[in-house]
Structure 1
C-alpha cells in the first residue's frame, strides 16, 4: 500500500533535482553547486533498487544532458558509473550510519569529478577550474538531510 500511495516521490524528486541543477546561480557560488541529480539517484539506487536500476539512471542522465545542453551522454555515463558502484556495495552501504554514508557519497562525488575531467580532457574541452572541486564536499554535507527527507517522504513519515 505504501508503494502505491507514495509512488509520486520518485518522479517528483528526480524532477526537482533536474530543476535545481538548472537554477541560475551567481558566478561566485556556481562552483559550489551540488550535483543534486547524483544525490537523489543515489538515494533511490540504495533504497529502491528494483525500481531504479542502471537503465533508469541512464535515461535520466540523457534527459539531463538534453536539458543542460552539454555533451550528449556525459552525465548519463557519469551517473551510470556512480549507480554501478552503488549497486555493487549497496548491501554494505545500507547499514552504514549516515555519517559514513556521507563519506562514501563524498568519495563517489569526487570520483564523478574525476570522470567528468577525464571526459573533458579526452574530447579537448577545458577542464573545470579547481574551485569546482569543492562541490563534492558540499554534496557530502547535504547527503544526510537529503537522505532523511527522501526517506520520510518515501515511507510516509514526517521529516
Structure 2
C-alpha cells in the first residue's frame, strides 16, 4: 500500500463534524397549500374575537397578530403585509387609539414572518415560536415607542407579557390551523 493511498483512507474515515450532521427537526414540510376559504375564515373569526373586551386585559395575547403572522409564514401569497396593515387599521379604529399603531405592529410582524418563511418551513412549531418571539418583541416595541412619542407618556412594561403569551400560543395555533391539512395528508398517505 502506498503512502498516498494510506492518507486517502485516513481522510475518508474522518468522522463528520457535529455541525455538518445537523438536520432540521421536521424534514417533511407540507407541500399542499391550505384551503383559501379556511385561511380567510380563521383570520376573520379571530378578528371578530379580538373585538371583544377581553383584549383590554394587559397581558392578554394578541390573537389577531398571532394568526396573521402564522398565515404570513405558511401562506404568504394569501395573507400579505397589506392584509396585516388593513386589519391593524381596523383594530385601531375599533380601539379608538392612535391610528396606525396596530397597523404598524401587525405589518412589522407580517414582514418578519415573510422574511423567515423559507427558513422556518423546515422546523417544528416550538422552534418556529422561538424564532417568532423576537419578531413579536421588536414589532411591539416599535409600536410602543411610537405611541410613547406621540402620546408623550410611557405605557409601562406590561405589554411584554402579551408578547410572551402570543409566542407561547404559536404551537397551539400550528396544531389548530394546520389540522385540516394534516387530515388530508393522512388520508393521502392511507390511500398509497
TM-score bracket for this pair, using the shorter chain length: 0.7 to 0.9
Instruction: State the partner residue of 1:91.
Output: 118
**What does 1:52-91 correspond to in 2, within 5 Å?**
52-91=79-118
- The equivalent of 1:20 in structure 2 is 49
Equivalent position of 2:183 in the other structure? 157
Q: Distance in 1 between matches of 2:74 and 2:80?
A: 11
Equivalent residue for 1:46, pick from 67, 73, 84: 73
Deviation per CA, 1:112-140: give whole Å up to 9, x if none. 22112111122024332222211111112
Unaligned runs of 5+ in 1: none
**DSSP 3-state at the match of 1:91:** helix
Q: Which has the higher helix share?
A: 1
- Correspondent of 2:154 among 127, 131, 156: 127
Once residues 47 and 162 of structure 2 are traced to their aligned partners in structure 1, the CA distance between those partners, rounded to angstroms, is: 16
For these two proteins, the number of residue pairs brought into alignment is 153
Does 2:40 align with 1:8? no
Give the Cα separation in 2 of the matches to 1:38 and 1:26. 12
Q: Which runs of 5+ in 2 are unaligned?
A: 1-31, 185-192
Measured against aligned partners, the alpha-carbon deviations of 1:55-96 in whole angstroms (never above 9, x if no partner) come to 222222222222222211111111111111221121001112
Q: TM-score, normalised by structure 1?
A: 0.83
**Cα offset, 1:3, TM superposition:** 6.8
Secondary structure in 1 matching 2:178: helix
Alpha-carbon distance in 1 for matches of 2:81, 2:37: 20
**Residue 188 (structure 2) aligns with:** none
RMSD (Å) for aligned C-alpha atoms: 2.3
Distance 1:121 1:145, change over 3 A: same
What is the rounded CA distance, in whole Å, between the counterparts of 2:92 and 2:122 in structure 1? 33
Which gives a bigger RCO, structure 1 or 2 (Cα 8 Å, sep 6+)?
A: 1
Residue matched to 1:102: 129
